[in-house]
Amino acid sequence: MASTMQISWVKSTIPVALRRSVHCQCQPLWLPQRIGFVAPVPVPIANCVRRFSNESVAALRVSCCKGTESDEVEGGSGGFAETAESYTCVMKFGGSSVANAKRMREVANLILSFPEERPIIVLSAMGKTTNMLLLAGEKAVSCGVTNADSIDELNIIKDLHLRTLEELGVDKNVIEKHLEELQQLLKGIAMMKELTQRTQDYLVSFGECMSTRIFAAYLNTLGVKARQYDAFEMGFITTDDFTNADILEATYPAVAKRLHSDWVSDPAIPIVTGFLGKARKSCAVTTLGRGGSDLTATTIGKALGLPEIQVWKDVDGVLTCDPNICPQATPVPYLTFDEAAELAYFGAQVLHPQSMRPAREGDIPVRVKNSYNPKAPGTLIAKTRDMSKVLLTSIVLKRNVTMLDIVSTRMLGQFGFLAKVFSIFEDLGISVDVVATSEVSISLTLDPSKLWSRELIQQELDYVVEELEKIAVVNLLKTRSIISLIGNVQRSSLILEKAFHVLRTLGVTVQMISQGASKVNISLVVNDSEAEQCVRALHKAFFESELSELENECVPGNGSVSALS
């Protein structure tokens, strides 16, 4: 029997992934721009303070009184409706947005320039603090107890935070205890000569704990009432998967209840630590994976059923490509949750891979904005958008991927073969990104990235190969890249025609191709060494020529490849 190539798609761990099939409904839905949001008028701080503290907070008191004051907020997002009357949006500011005192002032100014909003603020650690804490931890393991105090990164972190306090006119005692404890912790690590993932999470939590304390205290000095929250003390309950914990359902009612009751008893702007949670079993501090503050923001948005979630970055929204690879990348004005989720999962650093889930579940639009350029319209992510004029939305590159070619020795039939292959990965809890199968062979990619999932160590890979070799001939190929073409896969013929023309011109061989069931993603696997060049050429062909603009406009005839769907 001829072996027909079927193209399929799997992500995350296999059992979950096999169940997943997301369909984009492609109905046009144009959400109205929120008044005053697109081009906020900069308001002098003094002015803002008066407007915020008198009008908005008073208005809030009224709206809270109108709502029920009952503490019974459990039972799905509908049950939190009374809270939605008090807060109007959640605004997340990433590390680059709060990198120093000047940036904190600008962010405060920005928040206060929307007096009609009653926001919940989520902050990341200042600048590169998380990276430096991780480095300090690594150094502490081998530097010896007596040298732990003089680890460079510790002193850089101390200097940055103390300087920020001073420049903002905030009392040192706001974070004094945290700085002392951080120093003690590094000594402890040095003494133990060991840094477990649990301790690592506790270590990096100092970044968000300090940035939020400084910012809340600063708002208070301006006369704007703000209240700091550590996420792990306010109801963020997670799995015990340190460094990459999942948020559990119990989080939603707990967070809503806490924010609601605090607002009712004493209204203040909540300043919440992004990225952190509390492990359900061990009760230790967890982190949600790098960039996890986006997920904190969307979780709060869903918990409170808010009308909007805003994530403020250092770029003008989600771009057509990583600007570090293609400086010509331009902002994408609209995205669906599916597109944004694929984009994030397949490596676009701009959004946390899991962050779209709560927004999609709560059907809450997410705006990606630039805190350095608030007038830029940014990107609006919602459930649906008009895809009829869209060809490609964005190109994403995921590097350092391991690929496996597995060819059956025909000891098993097709069904048994696929089942056996996937059960091996399931048993080992290993994530698979992209899959292409035929009757007797299967190609798939594994994600060894430390950033978003657990590290696949060589020993584990060896074990996988050993197990698979019992039923197949296995070829393990390292240093591969996945180029994901996110867009309107209903027009896949045109996308593939253009993409393959570009790649053929470059003389690049595509080693695997796969289309997602979500209908928004075509993935191509190439060698790492060729990947950036391919992405730049693809970007040029799809986004930088007049023809590409026309193609992005034209309404397709029958542009899809049905065998792929």
Ligand X SMILES: N[C@@H](CC(=O)OP(=O)(O)O)C(=O)O
Ligand Y SMILES: Nc1ncnc2c1ncn2[C@@H]1O[C@H](COP(=O)(O)OP(=O)(O)O)[C@@H](O)[C@H]1O
Which residues in this chain contact ligand X in the complex, by CB under 6 A? Answer: 94-95, 124-125, 130, 207, 274-275, 290-293
Token output for 511: 């080693």
Binding status of residue 314 toward ligand Y by CB under 6 A: yes
Q: E strands along 501-547, which residues?
A: 512-515, 521-527
Query: Token pair for residue 115?
Result: 């007096």
Contact with ligand Y (CB under 6 A) among 118, 260, 278, 313:
313
The 10 Å Cβ neighbour count of residue 502 is 18
Task: Check binding of 94 to ligand Y (CB under 6 A).
Answer: yes
The site partner of 167 among ligand Y, ligand X, none (C-beta below 5 to 8 Å per kind) is none
Among 4, 173, 265, 324, binds ligand Y (CB under 6 A): 324
Q: Shortest gap between Cβ of 211 and ligand Y (angstroms)? A: 12
Integer Cα distance of 120 and 87 in angstroms: 7
Cα 376 to Cα 367: distance, rounded to the nearest angstrom: 11
289 binds ligand Y (CB under 6 A): no
Q: Which of 297, 350, 499, 524 binds ligand Y (CB under 6 A)?
A: 350
Does position 535 bind ligand Y by CB under 6 A? no
Q: How far is CA 67 from CA 54, 90, 272, 517, in A?
A: 20, 20, 23, 43
Are 368 and 313 spatial neighbours (Cβ–Cβ below 8 Å)? Answer: yes
Residue 559 as a binder of ligand Y (CB under 6 A): the answer is no
User: Looking at beta carbons only, is 298 or 437 nearer to ligand X?
Assistant: 298
- Closest distance of CB 96 from ligand X, Å: 6
By C-beta, is 229 or 543 nearer to ligand X?
Answer: 229
Nearest distance in Å: CB 120, ligand Y = 17
Tell me which stretch binds ligand Y (CB under 6 A): 30-38, 95-103, 405-413, 532-540: 95-103
Binding flag, residue 96, ligand Y (CB under 6 A): yes
What is the smallest separation between the CB atom of 134 and ligand Y, expressed in angstroms? Answer: 15
Nearer to ligand Y, 82 or 322 (CB): 322
Nearer to ligand X, 130 or 560 (CB): 130
In the list 80, 85, 86, 95, the residue contacting ligand Y (rule: CB under 6 A) is 95
Interacting residue with ligand Y among 394, 437, 492, 518 (CB under 6 A) = 394
Residues 125, 205 contacting (CB under 8 angstroms): no
Q: How does 289-310 read in b/e, with b if 16+ C-beta sit within 10 Å?
A: bbbbbbbbbbbbbbbbbbebbb
> Does residue 323 bind ligand Y (CB under 6 A)?
yes
Q: In this complex, which beta carbon is closest to ligand Y, that of residue 97 or of residue 205?
A: 97
Query: Residue 228 binds what, of ligand X, ligand Y, none (CB under 5 to 8 Å, by partner type)?
Result: none
Residue 325 Cβ vs ligand X, minimum distance, rounded to whole Å: 18
Residue 207 CB, shortest distance to ligand X, in Å, is 6
Alpha-carbon distance of 478 to 495, in angstroms, equals: 27
Residue 47: its H or E element:
helix 45-50
399 to 438, contacts with ligand Y by CB under 6 A?
none
- On whether the CB atoms of residues 446 and 512 are closer than 8 A, the answer is no
Binder of residue 318, out of ligand Y, ligand X, none (CB less than 5 to 8 A by kind): ligand Y
CA atoms within 13 A on the CB side of 38: 9
Q: Cα-atom radius of gyration of the chain, to the nearest Å?
A: 25
Q: Nearest distance from residue 91's CB to ligand Y, in Å?
A: 12
Number of residues that bind ligand Y (CB under 6 A): 19
Nearer to ligand Y, 127 or 362 (CB): 127
C-alpha to C-alpha distances, 483 to 321, 334, 476, 562, nearest whole angstrom: 11, 21, 19, 22
Single out the residue of 68, 349, 400, 511 in contact with ligand Y (rule: CB under 6 A).
349
Tell me: does residue 204 bind ligand Y (CB under 6 A).
no
Which x/- pattern, by CB under 6 A, does the window 224-263 give for ligand Y? ----------------------------------------
Q: How far is the CB of 291 from ligand X (least distance, A)?
A: 4
Cα–Cα separations (whole angstroms), residue 150 to 128, 143, 162, 181, 204: 19, 10, 17, 15, 18
Q: Closest Cα partner for 390 from 520, 516, 496?
A: 520
In angstroms, the CA 238 to CA 16 distance is 18
- What is the sign, positive or negative, of the torsion defined by CA atoms of 369, 374, 378, 384? positive
Site for ligand Y in 127-156 (CB under 6 A): none
Q: Hey, what amino acid is at 471? A: I
Report if residue 348 touches ligand Y, rule: CB under 6 A: yes
3-state SS record for 93-130: ECHHHHCCHHHHHHHHHHHHCCCCCCEEEEECCCCCHH
Facing residues of 368 across strands? 311, 379
Binding residues vs ligand Y (CB under 6 A): 94-97, 124, 291, 313-315, 318-319, 321-324, 348-350, 394
